Amino acid sequence: MEKNIYTRRANYYETDMMGIVHHSNHIRYFEEARIFFMRNIGCDVMEMEQQGIIIPNVDAYARYHSPIRFDEEVDITVKLSKFTGAIMEFKYEAYLKTTGQLAATGHTQHCFVGSNFKPMSLKRKYPDYYEKLKANISV
């Protein structure tokens, strides 16, 4: 299993009256893929939160290319495209597993804050996490 490919099957309750996955669920799929990626590189989000690192989403975008229908599987590629220690940005591409057709693309941007919700520098406070993320940047 690759660290940057997350496979997801569309659930019935995620579809709309047209029988396709509702647009709002793509952002959820991206979030699942990001959490999967971060866990696989040694930056488990749950562990980070337990240590006082909160990673709010400050920007999210999705572009829809072809519909995903109930019970279809999608492979979502995740790339950490930008990382400064204070912010990070991920890019996503979702492909229908059976055909390889591009279903959606998007990005999310995040910052790091402490439990007081004030911005923090990951490099200064948590250098181990900083190094793991820095080592996984791909453009």
The encoded tokens of residue 59 equal 């920007």
Please tell me the predicted confidence (pLDDT) of residue 86. 94
Count of residues in the chain: 139
pLDDT under 70: residue ranges of the chain: 1
Alpha helices in the chain, H assignment, sequence order = 24-40, 45-50, 122-125, 127-134
What is the chain's Cα-based Rg? Answer: 16
Q: What are phi and psi of 94, to 5 degrees?
A: -110, 125
Residue 75 known to be catalytic: no
pLDDT tens readout for residues 50-61: 999 999 999 999
- Show the domains of the chain with their CATH numbers: 5-134 (3.10.129.10)
pLDDT on residue 139: 73
The predicted structure's pLDDT at residue 1: 52
Predicted confidence at residue 2, as pLDDT, reads 75
CA distances to 28, 78, 127 from 94, rounded to whole Å, are 12, 9, 32
Name residue, tokens 């709309």: 16
Q: Which of 16, 59, 71, 128 is catalytic?
A: 16
Question: What are the E-state strand segments in the chain?
Answer: 5-9, 57-64, 73-83, 87-96, 102-111
